[in-house]
Amino acid sequence: MGFLLKSLYGQLFVTPPVPTHDFSGQTVIIIGANIGLGLEAARHIARLNVGHLVLGVRTASKGETAKKDIVSTTGINEQSVSVRIVDLSSNKSVIAFANTIQAEFKSVDALLLNASILPFEFATTEDGVELGVATNVIGTFLLALLMLPLLRSSSALSGKPVHLSIVASEVHGFTTLPEKKHPHIFTALNAKDSPDFADRYNVTKLMQVLIARELAKSVDSDKVILNFLNPSLCHSNLTSTTKGFASFIVESFKYLIGRSTEVGSRTLVHALTIGKESHGQYLSSCKVEEPAPFVLSAEGATVQKRLWDELSEILERARPGILSNIA
């Protein structure tokens, strides 16, 4: 069965199971936890006896509203839920967040990188980077690498591997990254006249998959299980920025075949509980699945290495010495 047909089959005929994993005594961090899939995943984890839950959000007031909602619907002690500010589009914010977590917590058992944006217009961040690439790719992996030392030390304390999960998407199979034709992919993506900007979200999700696969090669799965997942098309706030005909198409598909936010969130929780068989792997409908054909191709392998090399330079400029965190 082809990748797209398999994705459609999972969307229509597979219902992810309700999470039952016991998170007792564990510290779990969810980035993008105040709305949508992140909020519902946080609610599941609170319900499952988590020791401490950290909601990583861009706006304090929205984070506090999410915290009150989680506390009131699950009965978790409000002292067991913290709100911390992080904006993945800002390197400064990501670094500050990582420093805060490392100062406050001796161990972290699971880190879920869920925050992404769906860009339809070209805009840049304070760092001068196109917003979608900055958030979905650079900020996501900057935080992942900053947190790796704490994750490894947490594994040593618990005597078992901890989890680092990235919320990707099946749409990584909808593109083959047109910018790969350029000598420097990230530079091409930062040009205002980039080709087919409507493809940008798909491109960033493909980049997440490729970079996560490359990073996983250097991460010891006995200490940190790194995986990436597809929640499938869900009713969430991700598409709130769509306009015009694009909005009509997206909302129509969500209405016809979209999973509820709660059902989709089950896949996020699953990624934080599955074993080492998921390391460096793509998860869909709570199973290890093959990613899109381009990812597995010889050309995909070449692009994967190019992306990692380019991103490594970017991350080193943002935080000198960060690559040493991988070892």
Q: Which residues pair with 225 in a beta bridge?
A: 163
Tokens, residue 50: 């988590």
Q: How far apart are CA 189 and CA 195, in angstroms?
A: 9
Tokens, residue 280: 């460096």
pLDDT number for residue 158: 96
* Sequence-ordered alpha helix ranges (H) in 14-80: 36-47, 60-74
Mean per-residue pLDDT of the chain? 92
Q: How far apart are CA 241 and CA 113, in angstroms?
A: 20
Q: Using pLDDT thresholds of 50, 70 and 90, give the confidence band for residue 2.
A: confident
pLDDT number for residue 258: 61
pLDDT number for residue 232: 78
Name the residue among 87, 81, 16, 85 with its Cα closest to residue 43.
Answer: 81
**Quick one: DSSP state of residue 179?**
G
Lowest mean pLDDT among 11-25, 228-242, 292-306: 228-242
pLDDT number for residue 245: 44
Q: Which residues pair with 24 in a beta bridge?
A: 50
pLDDT number for residue 192: 84
pLDDT number for residue 255: 46
pLDDT number for residue 248: 43
Beta strand 81-85 with 27-31 is unpaired
What single letter denotes the amino acid at residue 118?
A: L
Lowest mean pLDDT among 36-40, 233-237, 264-268, 276-280: 233-237
Catalytic residue flag (residue 201): yes
Please report, for residues 230, 235, 244, 247, the alpha-carbon distance to residue 252 in angstroms, rounded to integers and kept in the order given.
20, 11, 12, 8
Query: Counting Cβ atoms within 10 Å, is residue 65 exposed (0-12), middle (13-18) or buried (19+)?
Result: middle
For residues 85 and 67, the answer to whether their CB atoms sit within 8 Å is no
Q: How far apart are CA 275 and CA 221, in angstroms?
A: 9
Q: Per-domain residue ranges for the chain?
A: 3-13+20-316
Q: 208-263 pLDDT, tens per residue?
A: 999 999 999 999 999 999 999 999 766 666 554 555 444 444 554 454 556 789 99
Q: 29-54 pLDDT, tens per residue?
A: 999 999 999 999 999 999 999 999 99
pLDDT number for residue 197: 78
Residue written as tokens 């530079």? 187
Q: 136-186 pLDDT, tens per residue?
A: 999 999 999 999 999 999 999 999 999 999 999 999 999 999 999 999 999
Residues with Cβ within 8 Å of residue 270, at least 6 apart in sequence = 16, 17, 19, 229, 283, 286
What single letter denotes the amino acid at residue 70?
A: I
Active-site residue, from 9, 68, 205, 282:
205
Q: Using pLDDT thresholds of 50, 70 and 90, give the confidence band for residue 198.
A: confident
CA dihedral in degrees (322, 323, 326, 327; nearest 10)?
A: -110
Catalytic residue flag (residue 255): no
Question: Is it the case that residue 327 has pLDDT exceeding 70?
Answer: yes
Coil/strand/helix, residue 262 = helix
Name the residue among 285, 113, 117 with its Cα closest to residue 211.
Answer: 113
Q: Which residues pair with 57 in a beta bridge?
A: 85
pLDDT number for residue 251: 53
Distance of CA 265 to the CA centre of its chain: 12
pLDDT number for residue 172: 97
Stretch 176-202: mean pLDDT, rounded?
A: 90
Q: Is the pTM of this model over 0.85?
A: yes
Active-site residue, from 201, 223, 287, 305:
201
CATH 3.40.50.2000 fits 3-13+20-316, yes or no: no
Q: What are phi and psi of 24, to 5 degrees?
A: -55, 130
What single letter denotes the amino acid at residue 169?
A: S
The H or E element spanning position 146 is: helix 140-158
Rounded to 5, what percent of the chain is helix, strand, coil? 55, 15, 30
The H or E element spanning position 165 is: strand 162-167
